[in-house]
Amino acid sequence: MSKIVVAYWSGTGNTETMANSIAEGVKAAGKDVEVVSMDDYNASKLKECDAFALGCPAMGAEELEDTIAEPFVNEVEGFASGKKIALFGSYDWGDGEWMRIWAQRMEDAGAVIVGGEGLICNNEPDDEAIETVKS
């Protein structure tokens, strides 16, 4: 049984909360899961995984966080073809544009986006959002 890695970047903890909820959902589905922060995880390790989840909030102007998450995702794009990838993240004032751009980008790299177009939560995920993320 291969392990599902949930790799996230989070500035104020909202995307981290989502990452932990997703991990609970994966565990409840009987799969092995590891939650890691992009700050101290080497993206190239994901090459060995068939399926994984990536999380990053909307930053900049509908962009990924640029010092850690952007280079991380850029590296993943290089080997994303054929991988099953779930995307998630928190946002505030936008309409989720960053996630649409991100999902398109991963699809263009040949990834299969699982769990819809990307799971997004407005600010801190509430109980309902957490239940949705877990499922």
Interface contacts to ligand FMN, rule CB under 6 A: 10-15, 57-62, 90-94, 123
- Structure-token pair, residue 44: 């190239």
Is the Cβ of residue 21 or residue 90 nearer to ligand FMN in the bound state? 90
Residue nearest to ligand FMN (CB): 94
| HEC secondary structure over 85-107 | EEEEEEECCCCCHHHHHHHHHHH
Residue with tokens 């290089």: 78
Candidates 36, 31, 30; CA nearest to 6 is: 36
Q: How far is the CB of 43 from ligand FMN (least distance, A)?
A: 18
Task: Give whichever of 60 and 82 is closer to ligand FMN, judged by the CB atom.
Answer: 60
Quote the least distance from Cβ 56 to ligand FMN, whole Å: 8
Closest distance of CB 2 from ligand FMN, Å: 27
Residue found by looking up tokens 């957490």 in the block:
130
